[in-house]
Amino acid sequence: MQFHVDGFKPGDPDVLPAAPGHRRPGDPLPETVDVLIAGSGPAGLALAAQLARVPQIRTMLVEPKLGPMEKGQADGISVRSMEMFQAFGFAEKVMRESNWINETTFWATGADAPASSQGRSQDDARPSGGGGGHLPPPGGTLTRVARVQDVPDGTSEMPHVLINQARVHDMFLDVMRNSPTRLEPDYGLKVIDLSVDPAAADHPVTVTLEHTAPDREGRIATVRANYVIGCDGARSNVRGAIGGALHGDAAHQAWGVMDVLAVTDFPDWRMKSFVRSRDEGILMVLPREGGHLVRLYVELDRLGEHERAADRGMRPEDIIAKAQRIFSPFQLDVKEVVWWSIYEIGHRLTDKFDDVPEDQVATRAPRVMLAGDACHTHSPKAGQGMNVSMGDAFNLGWKLVSVLTGRAAPALLHSYSGERRAAAKGLVEFDHKWARVVGARAEDDRVDGLPRVAREFVNNLPFTCGLTIQYERSSLTGAPAHQHLATGFDIGKRFHSAPVVRLADARPMHLGHCIEADARFRLFIFAPADDAGGPGGAVAMLCDWLEHDPASPVRRHTAPGEDVDAVIDTRAVFQQGFRALDFGAMPTLLRPHVGRYGLCDYEKVFCADVKRGEDIFEMRGIDRAAGCMVVVRPDQYVGTILPLHARDDLAEYFAAILRVRG
């Protein structure tokens, strides 16, 4: 991270200078805001954390609960979400506190276990991904039948981790509190209704709020907003107010979930494990942070067609008893139940993620949008709910910032529903299939000698890592005409980071880690062979055009008075080692002078990490002879790939997204 750019500031560099004119806790409710967010779950907080960093945006976050979450609910963080956390600046903190999931094991009894593994429970039970053997007679002991690596090599520099959802909330709240706007949630308020005046240009959404705190319960207030984002869960009042509904089905299966501190002789208590009993059903073991806490998902009873899990009146003791029967002959002595719940699986998706009818898309921009469980619900089996919800917010946040700061026209917001509904549809379809694999009966559970759940788990790893989302071609996602120039950066997918060395200080790092959650585009220039950045080279000529030509997107879309990298942050990567290059000879665009004092930014130029043999050009299939340009959107997805000479194409890409401000 960079700081001191506008003068020396002692203390914590994560605490940014406060901007004047924003509300503080205890201040009266505002009459108007730019953005009102309903709900302080992962989607609402991820969105608020982005908006809070922009001093000119006035944001209000309302939450019916009277304080922040402390425990329970989701706990799995995919590698894709960890990459996103890096952009917010707290990935390292999550890695330090969380439990890393490195392997997943699969256990079965009797006819579900291969004969060759009967009676074993240690590492010799089955090699990674293994299976097979002759089926033993029914009965027998609970046995490990397969184990697999949880995150395939080369998938990401980030791990798959488990951590209390409340800690993730805390980290987003810290970002908000430390941002220039010092944004804090307004607890004890919920959205009960809203109306949109399409003809109004200023604050067209009137929001009706209800107080939930005991001393003010039932009192009504109204706030007018330019935009309202419904992150208020599966029973979303915001969704209902715009006529939306969730469509889908339920599996009519009750599951218990509990976080426990327990004593057990089950060998894989600190591994993510699927455990199947022949007669008692299945459970999942998810080891949590701290070295002792464990979450159990336990299959309970089938539900009737119109029955709810709550109708059964089950208690923690019922979940524990069922878990003990599934674990038998291993012992499970629960010392403390930290949190528990009983739920039924549902897979549902709303029609549209915003308030604009299909026949009015050409004439109206969205004013009300939905994110997270308000527009898609699913089972927790694949651990994607919180992750996809935060992905919704990361997609929407930079678009709202771009519109509210005048960088982009309001029509940009149409892309949110199109991109994220397709992503959510893929999640719901995957989750529907996966939940049935997990809950399948034992006799249907073997494929080529392997437990079907293990085989499907391996096949689904790219999905559960959060890496299969690929946005379709649009103004934000270019055509694949030049994909061959960088085959490892799939257009429309997340930017797959790789190691580099920063030239100015020889620091090894990941290139993707220079992408922050600041609503800026990144333009990465990958130099052709023998180009050292000097005059007359392809990189120098491109940088000179970007910096000085009125037709360049940097000139056209950067407002007077802004730093040259305020909207499009240009960086270059060279094939030579850092000792073979001269930082002082680099184009001035790669050595910009920024901030109040015009200080030089020394962090725009990188080299392949030839010392460690981690060559980004080789790892990501970059054409060494030609080089290329890779445009990365503010949400870390690859927007387009172009040849270094394709200046008109680059200008056209940005012109379709950003307004002319130069």
pTM for this predicted structure: 0.93
User: What are the boundaries of each domain within the chain?
Assistant: 1-75+164-245+351-438, 99-158+254-346, 480-655
Query: Topology of domain 99-158+254-346, per CATH?
Result: D-Amino Acid Oxidase; Chain A, domain 2 (3.30.9)
Contact by Cβ (8 Å): 491, 638: yes
Terminal Cα-to-Cα distance of the chain (whole angstroms): 27
* CA dist., res. 194 & res. 229, Å (int): 11
Task: Look at phi and psi of residue 201 and say left if phi exceeds 0, alpha if psi is from -120 to 50, else beta.
Answer: alpha
Contact by Cβ (8 Å): 368, 226: no
The secondary structure of 495-511 as a DSSP string is ----EEEETTTTEEEEG
Residue 138 pLDDT > 60: no
Q: Is 471 helix (H, G, I), strand (E, B) or coil?
A: coil
- Above pLDDT 90, what percent of the chain? 77
- Looking only at the bridges linking them, the beta strands covering 593-594 and 599-600 are antiparallel
Domain over 1-75+164-245+351-438 is classified CATH 3.50.50.60: yes
* CA dist., res. 139 & res. 118, Å (int): 11
pLDDT of residue 120: 39
CA 132, 133, 135: angle at the middle one, nearest 5? 110
Least confident of 41-45, 202-206, 348-352: 348-352
* Sign for the pseudo-dihedral over CA of 184, 188, 192, 195: negative
Q: Closest Cα to residue 268, out of 160, 383, 142, 163?
A: 142
Per the listing, tokens 């094939």 go with 575
Distances (CA, A) of 546 to 415, 636, 645, 649: 27, 22, 12, 13
Per the listing, tokens 């997270």 go with 372
Contact by Cβ (8 Å): 239, 370: yes
Q: Closest Cα to residue 287, out of 312, 265, 259, 310?
A: 259
Least confident of 127-141, 235-249, 455-469, 546-560: 127-141
Q: What is the mean pLDDT of residues 520-546?
A: 97
* CA dist., res. 502 & res. 608, Å (int): 9
Task: Look at phi and psi of residue 463 and say left if phi exceeds 0, alpha if psi is from -120 to 50, else beta.
Answer: alpha
Q: What is the mean pLDDT of residues 192-219?
A: 96
Q: How confident is the model at residue 302 (pLDDT cuts 50, 70, 90)?
A: low
Q: How confident is the model at residue 424 (pLDDT cuts 50, 70, 90)?
A: confident
CATH of domain 480-655: 3.40.30.20
Q: What is the mean pLDDT of residues 490-517?
A: 98
Higher pLDDT, 403 or 309: 403
Least confident of 30-34, 378-382, 561-565, 615-619: 378-382
Count CA within 13 A, CB hemisphere, residue 193.
5
Q: What is the pLDDT of residues 30-67, one digit of tens each?
A: 999 999 999 999 999 999 999 999 999 999 999 999 99
pLDDT of residue 279: 86
Q: How confident is the model at residue 450 (pLDDT cuts 50, 70, 90)?
A: low
